[in-house]
Amino acid sequence: YNRIIKEENMLPTTREYVDREKKSIFTTTLDDSPVIQKGKGVYFLGLDGRKYIDFTSQVSLLNTGYCPDRVVRALKHTAETEHSGISADWPFCFEFEGMEISRAALAEKLIEISDRVMPFPKKIMFEVSGATAVNAALKIAKISYLRKKLGEEEVARRLEYFNNENIFIPSHHDIFRFSFLHCHCSFHGRHAEAHCLTNSKSVQLWGASSSGAFGRLTFPDASRTEEEIKKEVDNLISGLSIYAPVIAFVFEPIQGEGGFRVPDKKNIRTLIGYLGSKGIYIIADEIQAGLGRAGKMFACEHFGIEPDMIILSKSLGAGVPIGAVIANSEKFPDLLSGMHSGSHHCTPLACAAAIVNLKLIEQNLPNAEKMGEYLHKRLDEMKESFSNFVKEVRGKGLMIGVEFYNVDDRNYIIKKAKIIERDLGLLLAPCGKSAIRFCPPIIINEEQIEEGLSIFKKALETLL
């Protein structure tokens, strides 16, 4: 990593490359982060020739770090053996280092590891990303609700009628209208109905569209009372039901983009219990908080929650695109052929990466919990030294938010941490109104944590 890899000037400078992206690609969330050449473990080499320690895990995409050896071997083996662009509609099955690589094997593994929070029969729906998995979960909920309310034959009869119409306006017909609940400051994606469940920042709502209605609940932190929680639920359901029935509550067990906010255990259980008593499906979005990030396989474990569905993506494929919905098969009967499918749902490459990566996550769960406690303790100590700037340290496992009093200070520290040391930069990312997310790979050790915190401290000292 100390050697600049730029043979024969084949690669552009960081600024040249960023300018090219701005000219040729629609803006997403590109900022002045370093451009990555290659990475290993908790480190990566930037296009600028500098080494960085990553305390973002690419926003929990790389929970097991950059290029885990066995995942890399699995991808190479799959590319040489079975990489044929197979659609998810055509099964595949092959062997890698004594493991079966198949959709069934991955589904069975997801069913097994989710028994700890979903102790009932389950089935899996694969998707290609987090947002599409959220939409798939809502689709499963809607189909199940319609089957229960109208019966499959009546729904099929109505759909056949609409299928033959020249003009189709879903919001004009009750079987296409549903209401959903979510929390303020939540983030569930920027596609279709997942888009409407997102309101972390107003800019994220541009282009949102749905025939449904959406109710936003106050985040169940320690300031809420049981009476307030239930009253708010009743008021929202009453208002939404005028338009369409409320069928599901989608929530992040620990909010990610909204600020790494942790709910009060009693209050989140009160909220979910009350919604469940009204027949509302409980859908846990564990895309960012799950798979070891919060020190447990699932963040729901911290609160004793048993959701009806769990949504996974991000680190599931160790960087290879894949999403999954784990659903209670007693509440959600199997779908009919043709109801849902996609060309890239659980491709051989994604499947191989996920099966191998889940084993790595399981092996590193104790480390995620231990290092999470250590990092939290050290950040608490630093908060005391910089109490004029740092307001709060909160989180579970290696999902820790450091809240600043001033958003400008937060933004300054993120930029300063990249450049204050000549030989090593620290990559941090913002979340919420004025917080920094600390979510390094779950393979990190104490020495590497101290390495990153030393840079963070030096950046903070420049505020004094």
Summarize pLDDT for 320-358 with one digit per residue, the tens: 999 999 999 999 988 877 778 888 889 999 999 999 999
Mean per-residue pLDDT of the chain: 92
Q: Locate the domains of the chain by residue range.
A: 7-68+364-461, 73-361
Taking a C-beta distance cutoff of 8 angstroms, is the pair 188, 131 a contact? Answer: yes
pLDDT in tens, 232-270: 999 999 999 999 999 999 999 999 999 999 999 999 999
pLDDT in tens, 147-200: 999 998 998 888 888 888 888 888 788 888 999 999 999 989 888 888 888 887
CA-to-CA dists, residue 184 to 141, 147, 188, 215, 220, angstroms: 21, 30, 12, 9, 10
Backbone phi and psi for residue 281, each to the nearest 5 degrees, phi listed first: -70, 140
Whether pLDDT at 3 is above 50: no
Q: CA nearest 208: which of 218, 228, 193?
A: 193
**Pairing of the two strands 390-396 and 323-328:** unpaired
Cβ atoms within 10 A of the Cβ of 362, count? Answer: 14
CATH number of 7-68+364-461: 3.90.1150.10
Print burial letters for 179-200: b (CB count within 10 Å at least 16), e (below 16). bbbbbebbbbbebbbbbbbbbb
Q: How confident is the model at residue 30 (pLDDT cuts 50, 70, 90)?
A: low
Instruction: Assign domain 73-361 to a CATH class.
Output: alpha beta
- Residue 165's pLDDT is 82
pLDDT tens, 396-409? 999 999 999 999 99
